Amino acid sequence: MKKEIVMFLVFCSLFLFVSSLVYGQGDNSQDPNVNLALLDEATVSGSVPEGMARGKPEDILWDPVKQDFAYPSEYHEYGIPFEDKLVATKDDPFYWMVEWQTPKNINYITVGGAYENQPQPNTPWAIQYWDSENEKWIDVPKAHNGWEADTLNGVGGWINNGVFQWRGLEPIVTTKLRVIAYCDTTDEFVDNDTLKSIHFRGTNGNVKSVLIQYLDFSNAEPDNEKDEMVNLGLLPEAVVSAAFKAREYEYIRGQPATILFDPVKGDFYEITEWGEFGYPFEFDAGYPTEEDPFYWMVEWPVPKYVNYFTWGGVYGNQPQPYTLWAVQYWDGEEWVTVMNGVGGSKAEGRPGVDTDAESVWQSETPIVTTKFRLAVWSDGINPLVSFHIRGRGGHTWNWDERDSTFKAVLLQYRDLTKIADEKTDDRPKDFSLRQNYPNPFNPITEIAFTVSKNEHVKLSVYNLKGEEICVLLNEVKKPGDYKVIFDGSSLSSGVYLYRLETESGFSLTRKMVLIK
């Protein structure tokens, strides 16, 4: 009997061990003094062929115990030498990788970008983990919340300079993690399928890198400073979500993150059909209560200072005059309301204009929180019908409001005194030509530009030989923002140029890529 008990306990132990691998539990605990890439079982590698690389993969690792780089190096970087070229495609990218013998929990990742004189402004990148069950690389998701999750990928950004830092609400569990970059033919630092001067680097500034860790964020302090160019909902660690409890996802229009305004782009984070999130037109969502509301929410692993929030209301043909709403933050125990009302701006067709205070919350004293939301619920008499939240101040496939000074959805910690200055003069001060979107495209793309005064404007498309293919615009325009649709259906795949010229001598050319 004793032998049978021992065998049973051994079997249970083995079952729990195997289950931990199957159901995604790593074998490491939270520890701020451990860089998982420095464990004895860790193997660090990279894709640059031997003899071509500058630095070694381990040269960019940070040791949290030494508070210094783990290994001495001239520049603490890994990649290819200055002005050298490396073939790097999406299927066969430039990468830095670490792998372990057993699965690891990971919720903190930092990576240093290239130096300022070696930028990669259009280089696609991603942080990926190995899915052993399906045997493929997957971009690290920001959240597992029932919605199509944003992932750790992008174009340019931190690769230009500085440090990328991510903290996850939920740890990923994997035996392999890698950072990749690959060629985009619109980048001046690439030639066909080759990247120029590409590298990742370690950094010893306020944010250290390269660090891969499993941390406890429960007692963390707020880490953000005032910055009007940052939407806190767009931080790499921000998780934007919504909850509908018993209501079904199939009836939702849009995604929670697509209504966010990006102050750097001066447009929405993602261009969509209508720039909205909520229920479809005429859909009856019933009678959600204050305890179980419709809500749109942002949360972070580490607390943030917040003192400014803007949002847009519903369209004029979908009013909500009796809808109860509240702007709320989580204080660690319960939701605290900082602003609330009934209907108001939500019942109007164009809420959130400069004079509409009900679509703006601001406070001289910032709140400190890990969760911030806009909650909406029924008065118990009237159901929620067609309800949604709108983005404002950007453009969609169907409308353009980039000339509006009101921007939403925008969540910030900022200098409030600058808001009035931003609204004093809406007139364009300079000519500009924006990068086409989408890019690459097939076969339709949009080209946006700004005119600063009454002037004759010409917008043309050329091939790489300098031959004019077509003229999209050739007329006098008033000051303002404009967009033109280009249809490349009759053209073959390749790189094309588009040029904006004015009679006063302004001229700017950009590249675009047609892929069929």
At residue 316 the predicted structure's pLDDT band, cuts being 50, 70 and 90, is low
Contacts of residue 315, defined as CB under 8 A and 6 or more positions apart, other chains included, come to 349, 390
How many other β-carbons are positioned within 10 Å of the β-carbon of residue 19?
Answer: 11
Whether residue 443 is preceded by a cis peptide bond, meaning omega within 30 degrees of 0, is yes
**Co-location of 176 and 246 in the same domain:** no
pLDDT at 10 over 90: no
Tokens 């707020």, located at residue: 222
**Co-location of 160 and 285 in the same domain:** no
pLDDT at 74 over 60: yes
**Co-location of 441 and 418 in the same domain:** no
CA atoms within 13 A on the CB side of 412: 26
For 182-194, the pLDDT digits (tens) are 987 655 555 667 8
Task: Give the distance between the most distant pair of CA atoms in the chain.
Answer: 97
CATH number of the domain that residue 370 is part of = 2.60.120.260
Q: Are 47 and 137 in contact (CB under 8 A)?
A: no
pLDDT at 115 over 90: no
pLDDT score for 251 = 66
- Domain housing 381: 232-422
**Co-location of 59 and 208 in the same domain:** yes
**Most confident range, picked from 89-93, 158-162, 208-212:** 208-212
**Co-location of 243 and 356 in the same domain:** yes
At residue 355 the predicted structure's pLDDT band, cuts being 50, 70 and 90, is very low
pLDDT higher at 300 or 427: 300
In a domain? residue 17: no
Retrieve residue 250's tokens.
């199939």
In a domain? residue 362: yes
**Co-location of 116 and 207 in the same domain:** yes
C-alpha–C-alpha distance, residues 437 and 485, integer Å: 10
For 431-489, the pLDDT digits (tens) are 778 888 888 888 989 898 888 778 889 999 998 878 899 999 998 888 887 889 999 99
CATH number of the domain that residue 497 is part of = 2.60.40.2550
In the chain, how many domains are there?
Answer: 3
In a domain? residue 64: yes
In a domain? residue 160: yes
pLDDT score for 8 = 40
C-alpha–C-alpha distance, residues 436 and 486, integer Å: 9
pLDDT (average), residues 197-217 = 94
**Co-location of 142 and 195 in the same domain:** yes
Q: Cα–Cα–Cα angle for 268, 272, 278, nearest 5°?
A: 95
**Co-location of 509 and 363 in the same domain:** no
Q: In the listed set 165, 181, 213, which residue is the last one of a domain according to the structure?
A: 213
**Co-location of 190 and 301 in the same domain:** no
